[in-house]
A = this chain, B = another copy of it.
Amino acid sequence: MAKKVTPTETERCIESMIAVFQRYAGREITNSPNTLSKTEFLSFMHTELASFSQNQDPGVLDRMMKKLDLNCDGQLDFQEFLNLIGGLAQACHAAFTTQQPSKKI
């Protein structure tokens, strides 16, 4: 019997990003299952990133969608979605490193 390998934290994280994207991209029956429509993007933001989106001006999410949609097709593909996650992670990391003293733990 094949030995079951427990995924590492990084592997779980990669799996999560794919699973979350597929979950929201697969919501609308009329839209491609491999891209996020505007409605699917808003659903993702209001559910997965509610603590961020609930304090934003209503136009902010519209502008975010337009900025993330690099090929201007009105959809977010997986790479465009990763740019969003990466941008948020970068902002959180910058806030974290500003708060922490610059020394080895």
Could you list which residues of chain A lie within 8 angstroms of chain B, going by C-beta atoms?
Answer: 5, 8-22, 26, 29, 32-34, 44, 47-51, 78-79, 82-83, 85-86, 88-90, 92-93, 96-97, 102-105
Contacts and interface: CB of A to CB of B under 8 A. Distances in A.
Report the copy number of this chain in the oligomer: 2
Nearest to A17: B89
A32 B86 CA distance: 22
A12 B18 contact: no
Q: Label chain A's interface by main secondary structure.
A: helix
A63 to B, nearest CB: 20
Contacts of A13: 13, 16-17, 20, 85
B14 A96 contact: no
A79 B97 CA distance: 13
B85 A5 contact: no
A102 B29 CA distance: 12
Residue among A18, A50, A103 facing the most chain B CB atoms (10 A cut-off): A18
Contacts of A14: 85, 88-89, 92
A24 to B, nearest CB: 10
